Structure 1
Amino acid sequence: MLDFFRSALPTDESIWVAILDLVIVFYLVYILLRLVRGTRTVPMAVGLLFFILLYVFSRQFGFVTTYLLLDQFMSVVVLFILIIFQDDIRRALVRLGRFAWFTRAKQTAILEEVVQAAERLTRAKIGGLIIFEREASLVEFVAAAGTRLEANVCRELLCAIFVPSAENVLHDGAVLIRNYQILEAGAFLPLSSNPKIDKALGTRHRAAIGISEQTDAVGVVISEERGTVSIAYRGELTRDISIGELRQNLLLLFSSESTRRKKLLPTGARNAKKRAAKKGRRR
């Protein structure tokens, strides 16, 4: 029986080396695409991948002129990648040093701290804006940098940051959360220019929508006028949701599965209207 399998499988080691080589290349391409997903570097990554594939094909099929030209380009491609994708490479290296179970446990705890802070702020009718950085770096999108904190995420600190006061210069800006830490507070983000946005929305809501339009970030907005909480993702704002719905949406968006096709749950004002309509019919 063993002799049968030995005869069926190829014995040339070069074949297995070639297969392993291809697997490694495709895996690296997959990692690269995951790193740049939802960022402005996607077109650059696609263009770079095109040149690499063209280089391989020109070498394989003997396109001498094309190969010599691209060979000069490939000599600096490593430096090009390090410069263009430095933020993405940094985040990838940070993630490599984490255990999956530890990441999920810590992530859930941090999300709960944000949920509890949002509940306190809504009860006190104190406005706030909390932005979670995901795959895409927020640095290039910040209109005006805030105060760098690099502090642990806790409800007490989040509430203290947003307390309105003449001495508190941080309360008007956004809190940016990166790698389970409060990166900075008092940051100002570009506002959405979407003409379809409700004119009644304030600066915080427009900033949350704007950053979620340009990146894969998730924004939590607390309205000081209405004492309500909303969540922004992929350019959409789900308004006036309950604390339970906020928790449910955050856990959904930050689950281990891919969020590329995930949408916010149909909660908040839309469900409130449905409940009100049902009560009206019962009466």
Structure 2
Amino acid sequence: MDKANTTLLMEFVLTGLTQESQWRIPLFLVFLVIYLLTILGNLGLIALIWKDPCLHIPMYFFLGSLAFVDTSIASTVTPKMMISLLGKGKIISLSECMIQFFSFNFSATTECFLLAAMAYDRYAAICNPLRYSLIMTHQLCTRLLVLSFVGGLLHAFIHEGFLLRLTFCNSNIIHHFYCDIISLFKISCTDPSLNYLIVFIFSGSIQVFTILTVFISYTLVLFTILKKKSVKGIKKAFSTCGAHLLSVSLYFGPLLFMYVRPASPQVDDQDMMDSLFYTVIIPVLNPIIYSLRNKQVIDSLTKLLKKSA
């Protein structure tokens, strides 16, 4: 291509979830309710953990951080998607696109590391209960949290840096409801093969590492649980770990499907459905999953409501 006669595009059009006008208002209302529940649920959980000294333990230290990251993911993607459903705000500049992707990538990667840290915490609590306080010290928890956020930040910077090498000159139509990295590759005038390789190496490595950490931790937890003779102890352990396993399965499933499956221009709709799951659905489900299946959280909430009454 003759670069001298090429006009580089600086604005893009997000096609959004649907082109059917009759679905736009109903979908807008649905996602508005989901977004408000996401903000209320996650920020409420953070406030509850911060206010109740009984919840100032490693498990809830990570859970509060997870709620913060879920809020960030939802706020990065959902408002723009809702505006687009109203027929407005479909245009997004290159700089806005880069900022949106950076924020999403940072938050999503941090969540992967946090889920792994939470799995290790449950392993220490159930497999080594007598040494738990010696293992999960305040210093270790702080280091794991800092490493999770730093890892997310570095991963976002890597992909952002390689995105800057791409040029866009043929099409400015992004077949997605946000600036997803794969969708940007598909409309790039520059050969994105190196970018695909970077995604495979870094995103793949992070997912393999975090999933293996979760898998090994919960395999050891399962063996420890099965050795218990107390039915009450078994039920409590399964109840505590069940919520985390459910959240992990729902989160990593779509991510693996998105980045392990070879890219194809015919799977845009499937990509959007997968993305919708971990950008919109998971952030609203996590506080529900962890709260409704956690007696200590429910007791703290009940106690707080009684004081307020």
TM-score normalised by structure 1 residue count: 0.28
TM-score normalised by structure 2 residue count: 0.26
Higher RCO (C-alpha 8 Å, min separation 6)? 2
Q: Which has the higher strand share?
A: 1
Q: Which has the higher helix share?
A: 2
